[in-house]
Amino acid sequence: MTTPEKLFSELLGLGDAWVVERAAFDEAKKALELHVRETPKLWDEERCPHDGSAGVVCHDHVRGLRWRHLNVFNKEAEIVCDLPRGRCPACGKVWRVDPPWEGRAKHFTKEFEAFALTLMREMPVKKAAEILGEQDTRMWRVVQAYVEEAHAAVDMSDVTCVGVDEMARAKGHRYLTVFADLVRKAVLFATPGKDSETWAEFVKALAAHNGHPHALTHVSMDMSKAYAKGVRDYCRNAQIVYDKFHVIAHANQAVDLVRRAEAQSGPATAREVLVKSRWLWLKNPENLSRKQRARLRQIDQDMLQTGRAYQMRLALQEIYALDSSAAAAQRFGEWCRWVRREARKASRWLLHHMAGVADLIESHIAGILAHWEQGVTNAFMEGLNSVFSAVRRKARGYRSIRNMITMLYFVAAKLPSPAMLSH
């Protein structure tokens, strides 16, 4: 006859070195306790972790350790075990035996951790902890232990195209610099700060994962001086590519500066309309409703400078529809001349903000044109912004630098699933 104990031994996959000695339901805690002990077979199989010797013996037991397991019939279940410590007669060392059910965070079984990680992929850690009836700090340790192991195993030997961008922990908070593989579309590495020193850290990480900074052929980034210095200092074979999305972001910012200035200094009738229309100017016409389009046309006629700045931004974006860098080079040149000509007119003096964008484009033109030569889409970098929001949401209430990096890898590093990691 199959006893419940035998059944649980099989369900837990204990093999013949361990056995469920007693299964008991704790009325007070409404929890199932599975009391496990080792069999003599354990000592046949156990080897000294220091020198590999056989013939090890039991030194003593650590009493009453517990591991939370998956629920059984909707009741919480725990493995309870006096965990043996082995001793090696050859070298005299003593160690804690690794029980086969133990997950990475020590207080849970592997199965429980796999389930908890699945939940945490879908929802904030706090919410998953509530569902599991666990403390959220313990759940963070589960994610951390998994991410640490999985990220350590990431191979960067074929990384050639890298994107770099900054992520704020929260509005106005300290920054992380995030490095991503544009070919695999995966986050590679993140580190605090947003200066060229972050490159030193990234290069160390590359080396630790079989990669090499001289293997990088393209680095995609915004137009900040610090990142460009990092590339020059560490990656001599890499062409800098300035993202389309960062170039357009500068133009958007300039349009907004014109709008704000015109809202303050323009005709009184224009002011209210400009104050309320901020979002209209950041959108592309195809994304506007018919009503919004009509409004935009009206503003365009009344408020010459903001409307003109907006047209400049659209014209800039159209350059990216061209398919050769030669054609793009010519159009960028025309665009810069047009913008400056307009900005010189007395009635259009606010367009000097747009002329600033023209200066920026001219001084970064090689990297901007590299967009056409790179052959790898920057869409992943643009998409990272929504990844950053997801990470902040999942880590709500626990946004230490360490947790943010852990969650970033968990969400976007394409780590192998927990079950695939040898353990």
Residues in contact with Zn ion by CB under 5 A are 48, 50-51, 53, 88, 90-91
For residue 136, the SS3 value is helix
Report the nearest approach of Zn ion to the CB of residue 90 (Å): 5
Is the CB of 91 or the CB of 326 nearer to Zn ion? Answer: 91
Hey, what amino acid is at 21? Answer: E
**Min separation Cβ 65 and Zn ion, Å:** 24
Nearer to Zn ion by C-beta: 50 or 276?
50
CB of 213 to Zn ion, least distance (A): 41
Q: Which is nearer to Zn ion, 50 or 75 (CB)?
A: 50
Smallest separation, CB 52 to Zn ion (Å): 8
* Nearer to Zn ion (CB atom), residue 53 or residue 217: 53
**Contact (Cβ atoms closer than 8 angstroms) between residue 81 and residue 65:** yes
Contacts of 225 (CB under 8 A, 6+ apart): none
Q: What one-character-per-residue DSSP string does 71-128 give? A: EETTEEEEEEEEEEEEE-TTT--EEE---TTB-TTSSBBHHHHHHHHHHHHHS-HHHH
Q: Which is nearer to Zn ion, 91 or 207 (CB)?
A: 91
At 414, give phi and psi (nearest 5°): 50, 50
Residue with tokens 């990272």: 384
Instruction: Please tell me the distance from the alpha carbon of residue 339 to that of residue 342, in angstroms, as a whole number.
Output: 5
Cβ neighbours for 241, distance < 8 A, ≥ 6 positions apart: 218, 219, 220, 221, 367, 370, 371, 374, 378
Q: How far is the CB of 102 from Zn ion (least distance, A)?
A: 22
Would you say 48 or 178 has its CB closer to Zn ion? 48
Q: Is the distance from CB of 113 to CB of 91 less than 8 angstroms?
A: no
Shortest distance (Å) from residue 97 CB to Zn ion: 14
CB contact at 8 A, 76 and 82 = no
